[in-house]
Amino acid sequence: MTIRDEILALKKEQGAVILAHNYVAGEIQDIADFCGDSLELSVKAKHVSAPVIVFCGVRFMAETAKILSPKAKVLLPRPDAGCPMADMASAADVRAMRRAHPGAVFCAYVNSTAETKAEIDICCTSGNVENVLASVPADKEIVFLPDGNLGANMIRKTDRNMILWKGCCPVHDAVTPGMIRDARALHPGVEILVHPECRPDVVKAADRALSTGGMLKYIRESSAKEFIVGTECGILHRLRRENPDKVFYTLKPELVCADMKKLALEDVLAALKTGREEIVLPEDVMKKALLPIERMISVGR
C-alpha cells in the first residue's frame, strides 16, 4: 500500500476531511478534499461537519478552522509550521495599541494568532480586504495589522487612511521591482500577477495583485495563454493542473515559504494514525476570536 492509499483509507475510516492551502506541496494538494485560499478555507471549515479536520497549511489556519468548527478535532500534522508574519503582532502588542487608539477599529489579517484575533474587531484576508474595510464606517480610525504591505496597498487602492503595523510576509516582502522588470524583459507582453502581501512598489510595477484564490479564478477565466506568477510556488501545482493549455513563469527566484513546505505526506499519515497535533485553544480565546472571524465571513468576498 502506498502512503497515499494509507492516508485515503484512514481518512475514510475516521470520516476525516483534509483541507489544504494552495501553497502546500502538490502531492498534499492531490490528497486533499478541498484546496483553497485563506478565505475559502475558513468558509469551508465553518460548514464542514466531519469529526476530524486534517489541516494542511500553517498554524493560524488550523486555529481558525478550530474556532469555526469547535466540535471537530482539528489536526495540524506539522506543529512547527507557523507563519512568521502572524508572530509579528502579539496579543499584548495589540492591547497596548488599543490603549493608544481607544476609538479605532482594529482590523487583523487572518494571518494572525488566535490570541491576537481575540483582541481585534474584524478579520480580513487578501480575498476580501476591500469589502471588509468598506464595512467600517468612514469616520472610524482603522488600525490594520500585522501586514504593513497589504495595508499600504489598500491605502493606495481605496484612499482609506489607516494606521499600519510594521509586519510583513518575509516571502512576499523579498520581491523587488527589479524582479518585475527582469520578468517583463524576459517575457514581453505577458501579464504579471503578484500577491498583495508584496511591497507597494512591486504591486505598482505588476499588472494585478490578487489573493491565491483570486489568481486561480482570474487565470481560469482569462483567454491569455501565458502568465508570470509572483507568489509562493505551491500555487503552480494547481495552476498547471487546472489550466493544462496555459504556461506559467515565476518571478526570479521562485518564491518558497519554508513553513508551508515543512509538510510531507508522511506527516499527514502520522497525524491520522496518532491524532496529533490536535489544536487546543482556551475557551475564552475561542469565544472572543470567533466574533471578528464571523464578521469577516458575513462581509463576504
Residues 292, 117 contacting (CB under 8 angstroms)? yes
Nearer to ligand SF4 among residue 170 and residue 177 (C-beta):
170
Which of these segments, 37-45, 136-144, 199-207, 286-294, binds ligand 13P (CB under 6 A)? 37-45
169 binds ligand 13P per the rule CB under 6 A = yes
Non-local CB neighbours of 16 within 8 Å, separated by 6+ positions = 10, 50, 51, 52, 53, 54, 272
How far is the C-alpha of 206 from the C-alpha of 208, rounded, in Å?
6
The number of beta carbons lying within 10 Å of the beta carbon of residue 5 is 10
- To ligand SF4, the closest distance from the beta carbon of 24 in angstroms equals 10
| Phi then psi dihedrals of residue 123, to 5 deg | -100, 165
Which partner, ligand 13P, ligand SF4, none, binds residue 259 by CB below 5 to 8 Å per kind? ligand SF4
Cα 236 from chain centroid (whole Å): 16
Binding letters toward ligand 13P, positions 75-114, x by CB under 6 A: --------x---------------------------x---
* Contact status: 154 vs ligand 13P (CB under 6 A): no
Place of cell 505551491: 234
- The residues that touch ligand 13P, with contacts defined as CB under 6 A, are 22, 37-39, 83, 111, 125-127, 169, 197, 211-212
Contacts with ligand SF4, residue ranges (CB under 6 A): 58, 83-85, 111, 169-171, 232, 257, 259-260
